[in-house]
A = this chain, B = another copy of it.
Amino acid sequence: METLSVGQFSLVANLMSFTIATMGASALFFFLSRDSVAPQYRSALTLTGLVVAIAAYHYFRIAESWHDAYALEGGAYVASGAGFNDAYRYADWLLTVPLLVIELVLVLGLAKEETRSLSTRLATAAAVMVLLGYPGEVAESTGTRIVFWVLAMIPFLYILRVLFTEFSSAIDRQKENVRGLVANARTVLLVTWSFYPLAYLGPELGLSGSSAETFVQVGYTIADVTAKAGFGMLIYAIARAKSEAA
Q: Are the CB atoms of A57 and B21 closer together than 8 Å?
A: yes
Q: Is A209 located at the chain interface by the 8 A CB criterion?
A: no
What B residues does A39 contact at CB under 8 A?
Answer: 36
What B residues does A20 contact at CB under 8 A?
Answer: 57
Q: Are the CB atoms of B17 and A29 closer together than 8 Å?
A: no
A residues adjacent to B (C-beta < 8 A): 10, 14, 17-18, 20-22, 24-25, 28-29, 31-36, 39, 42-43, 46, 49-50, 53-54, 57-58, 61, 72, 81-82, 85, 87-88, 91-92, 94-95
What B residues does A36 contact at CB under 8 A?
Answer: 39, 42-43
Q: Are the CB atoms of A24 and B43 closer together than 8 Å?
A: no
Cα–Cα distance between A34 and B43 once the two chains are bound (Å): 11
Q: Are the CB atoms of A32 and B32 closer together than 8 Å?
A: no
In whole Å, how far is A170's beta carbon from the nearest beta carbon of chain B?
Answer: 23
Q: Are the CB atoms of A88 and B17 closer together than 8 Å?
A: yes
Q: Are the CB atoms of B42 and A25 closer together than 8 Å?
A: no
Given contacts A28-B49, A39-B36, contact A91 B54 (CB under 8 A): no
Cα–Cα distance between A59 and B197 once the two chains are bound (Å): 32
Q: Are the CB atoms of A85 and B14 closer together than 8 Å?
A: yes
Q: Are the CB atoms of A18 and B91 closer together than 8 Å?
A: yes
**Beyond A17-B61, A28-B53: 20 further Cβ-contacts under 8 Å?**
A14-B85, A14-B88, A17-B87, A17-B91, A18-B91, A20-B57, A21-B54, A21-B57, A21-B95, A24-B53, A24-B54, A24-B57, A25-B50, A25-B54, A28-B31, A28-B50, A31-B32, A32-B49, A36-B43, A72-B81
Identify the interface centre among A25, A49, A57, A85: most chain B CB within 10 Å of its CB: A25
In whole Å, how far is A62's beta carbon from the nearest beta carbon of chain B?
Answer: 11
What B residues does A28 contact at CB under 8 A?
Answer: 31, 46, 49-50, 53
User: Which listed residue (B10, B33, B42, B43) contacts A87, Cβ 8 A?
Assistant: B10
Given contacts A17-B91, A92-B21, contact A46 B32 (CB under 8 A): yes
Cα–Cα distance between A4 and B72 once the two chains are bound (Å): 23
In whole Å, how far is A26's beta carbon from the nearest beta carbon of chain B?
Answer: 9
Q: Are the CB atoms of B91 and A14 closer together than 8 Å?
A: yes
Q: Are the CB atoms of A95 and B46 closer together than 8 Å?
A: no
